[in-house]
């Protein structure tokens, strides 16, 4: 028998390995370890924090504002930066305000007479041309409405550098005789102007007495009721700040009550139509008491009434013979 000889294993692989058998089935792929979908603890906390509305507002709004404010604070903490910024801002503002499209070159006043127009121009005291940014329209309107002759005012800046002023002028309705002289007032009792400063187109009713301007409406109503007196009417006097007297041109007076003055004047006019009482020697007709009429006559009329009656027959001149 031949002895068994162990075969030696080659120390390295052959240089050219035989090609794989293509008909051999491929090895199955190794199974991948599945990834855990759960977030980490820090990712979970970050997501929960971001879902908080206050935190989102803090990050999106307040944090940028804080950064900007901090940067501005650091920049303006230096005086040189503040001075440079102020000069730049003033230069920019002046350049915009002085542009031609913002300059007022024309002032127009509508709805006012020549005298009131001169007062308005003096009250405004605007030195044209001027920038529209330098005009306070509310202050100018208040200044115009402070004039006695102006009831309302409206100011508007229009294109082309035009400042339009539209006013509603008070219309004189009465002449009020005051201690300082006669003045004009409107139907509401507002002072308009001195009588010497205006030229009236037609004569106006005259009133007098302290506080008569506060009852201008009553004066106008009485003047309308006294139209039948025509040229005899001189004016109305406010007596004791409580009632009216109708004053005629010859000095006669009709004393009216505190209430129902127009009705009492109508009764006096009806009495004159029936008896011509105002054509007689009468000084006053007192209507202050509604149930009693008092008439004051002139001294000459009283003396005439006090004379003894004249004899109808002639006095005897001698003895009567039968």
Concatenated DSSP letters of 160-182: TTEEEEEEEEPPP-EEEEETTEE
The C-alpha atoms of residue 210 and residue 238 are separated, in whole angstroms, by 7
Averaged pLDDT, 26-40: 68
Tell me the pLDDT tens digit for each residue of 187-210.
999 999 899 888 888 899 999 999
Residue 316 has pLDDT above 50, yes or no: no
Least confident window among 80-84, 92-96, 255-259: 92-96
Residue 175 has pLDDT above 90, yes or no: yes
Q: What phi and psi values does residue 93 have, to the nearest 5 degrees?
A: -65, -45
- Tell me if 284 sits within 8 A of 296, measured CB to CB: yes
- Tell me if 219 sits within 8 A of 189, measured CB to CB: no
The C-alpha atoms of residue 219 and residue 211 are separated, in whole angstroms, by 12
Question: Can you list the alpha helix ranges (DSSP code H) found in the chain?
Answer: 41-50, 53-57, 63-76, 79-97, 114-124, 137-145, 216-225, 261-275, 299-306
Shortest CA distance to 294 belongs to which of 250, 274, 264?
A: 264
Q: How far is CA 96 from the centre of its chain?
A: 30
Shortest CA distance to 257 belongs to which of 272, 248, 267?
A: 267
Its pTM surpasses 0.75: no
Going 52 to 55 to 59 to 61, the CA torsion angle's sign is positive
The C-alpha atoms of residue 177 and residue 185 are separated, in whole angstroms, by 10
- Tell me if 144 sits within 8 A of 150, measured CB to CB: yes
- Tell me if 206 sits within 8 A of 220, measured CB to CB: no
């Amino acid at each position: 028998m031949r002895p068994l000889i162990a075969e030696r294993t080659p120390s390295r692989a052959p240089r050219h390995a035989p090609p794989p058998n293509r008909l051999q089935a491929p090895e199955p792929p190794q199974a991948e370890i599945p990834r855990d979908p759960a977030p980490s603890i820090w990712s979970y906390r970050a997501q929960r924090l971001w879902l908080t509305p206050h935190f989102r507002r803090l990050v999106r709004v307040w944090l940028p504002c804080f950064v900007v404010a901090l940067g501005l604070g650091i920049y303006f903490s230096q005086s040189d930066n503040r001075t440079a910024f102020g000069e730049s801002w003033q230069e920019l503002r002046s350049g915009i305000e002085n542009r031609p499209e913002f300059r007022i070159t024309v002032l127009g006043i509508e709805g006012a007479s020549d005298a009131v127009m001169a007062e308005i121009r003096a009250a405004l005291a605007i030195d044209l041309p001027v920038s529209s940014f330098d005009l306070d329209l509310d202050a100018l309107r208040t200044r115009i409405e402070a004039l006695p002759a102006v009831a309302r005012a409206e100011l508007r800046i229009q294109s082309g550098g035009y400042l339009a002023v539209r006013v509603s002028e008070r219309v004189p309705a009465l002449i009020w005789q005051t201690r300082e002289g006669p003045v004009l007032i409107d139907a509401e009792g507002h002072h308009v102007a001195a009588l010497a400063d205006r030229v009236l187109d037609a004569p106006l009713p005259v009133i007098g007495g302290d506080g008569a301007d506060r009852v201008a409406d009553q004066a106008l109503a009485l003047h309308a009721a006294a139209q039948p007196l025509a040229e005899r009417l001189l004016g109305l006097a406010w007596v004791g700040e409580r009632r009216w007297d109708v004053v005629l041109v010859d000095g006669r007076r009709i004393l009216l009550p505190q209430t129902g003055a127009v009705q009492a004047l109508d009764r006096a006019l009806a009495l004159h139509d029936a008896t011509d009482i105002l054509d007689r020697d009468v000084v006053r007709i007192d209507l202050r008491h509604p149930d009693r009429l008092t008439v004051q006559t002139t001294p000459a009329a009283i003396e005439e009434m006090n004379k003894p009656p004249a004899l109808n027959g002639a006095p005897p001149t001698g003895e009567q013979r039968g």
